[in-house]
Amino acid sequence: RAINAIINKHDFLSIEDGEIIIRTNYLEEILIEIRSDYNVKMDKGLIPKNVIGIVLNNRTIYKNNYFEDYIGDYKFRVSYNSFFQVNNYMAGEIFNILKNNLKGENLLDLYCGVGTLGISVAHNFKRIYGIEVIGNAIKDAKTNARINKIDNAFYYVGDTAKILKDIDVYFDSIIVDPPRSGLNKETITKIIELRPKTIAYVSCDPMTLARDLSILYDNYYVEKANVLNMFPNTYHVECVCILKLR
């Protein structure tokens, strides 16, 4: 509703050409990201009150470059270029699935984003380690651990293989929540090498999920498969598979 309203009220921005990303939270506050090679004109006097930030080509030009949102009882800060689930209710269901199926000493949260999934199961582990390539997302993750009073989380920005060389622990469990393209060969090879007892694979693309599960098949079997209606009124679904070491 808030996004539709702001699309219809565009007199405060003048953009010749480019890409506009509009995000909203539970309060219907609006965060706008603009990517354009052309001049962008802005009339601050016409900006609606619920617009809490505008970012142009990675530069904040109005108020904030992040918003805050909730999934269940957890509060999260999300920067303009950080991934965050689009359906908070269903994201809460993912939290419940993970809480009921993951526990141990050390958890590795790959593609951790702003830390949502790892934080949701932090109390089931002594330590959680999150890795993400987006620098702002890792800053958010550290902030979110603090906001939610999680003191056993450690976050790293960069390449997974390189970072894991400096983390000398055995991971009981691994969470992976990759983009639609799924896991690359290097990451799958590394996961098999680490040999965690349990893998939670969160996927928004059943085709790449099936591809990756077939590669993992010799080492892992699917104990549970959950299908969630994350994207109502579309043919897209979210899948959460719990894999166990053979």
Give dist(CA 111, CA 117) in Å, integer. Answer: 10
Catalytic, 204? Answer: yes
Question: If residue 101 lies in a helix (H) or strand (E), which one and from where to where?
Answer: helix 88-101
Side chain identity, residue 12:
F
Neighbours of 59 (CB within 10 A): 9
Cα gap 201→21, rounded to integer Å:
27
Catalytic residue among 112, 204, 239, 241: 204
Residue 79 main-chain phi, psi, to 5 deg: -70, 165
Return d(Cα 50, Cα 24) in angstroms, integer.
Answer: 10
Q: Which residues are catalytic?
A: 204
